[in-house]
Amino acid sequence: MNAWQEIEDLQKKKVELEFQLHSLEEKERTLAEKARILEEKVAIQELEERLKVKHDTVEHLESKVSELERKVEERVKKFESVVIPEEQEEDKTEYFFK
């Protein structure tokens, strides 16, 4: 093989390797972008899961508070219905004895 032929073969090999390198660099960029996108999707899914859990917890607490407020209101009404008539009776007796 003469020198010119060897130089030509080496240049072809160099061009082929540069093409492969460029191809791999492009694939690397594409995969890196895809990885970033997938990382963001995973982060969003995790936040959505945490948000759902928190929403369920808040909903449960709102329901509990509502139920407790209802019970307090019932007890206040029950107490008032027992105490107020007695107080009214006291008021009447005070009126008569004045």
pTM of the model: 0.59
Q: What gap in Å lies between CA 54 and CA 46, rounded to an integer?
A: 12
Q: pLDDT by residue (tens digit) across 38-63?
A: 999 999 999 999 999 999 999 999 99
Give me 54's structure tokens: 């928190």
Give the chain's length: 98
Q: pLDDT by residue (tens digit) across 3-38?
A: 999 999 999 999 999 999 999 999 999 999 999 999
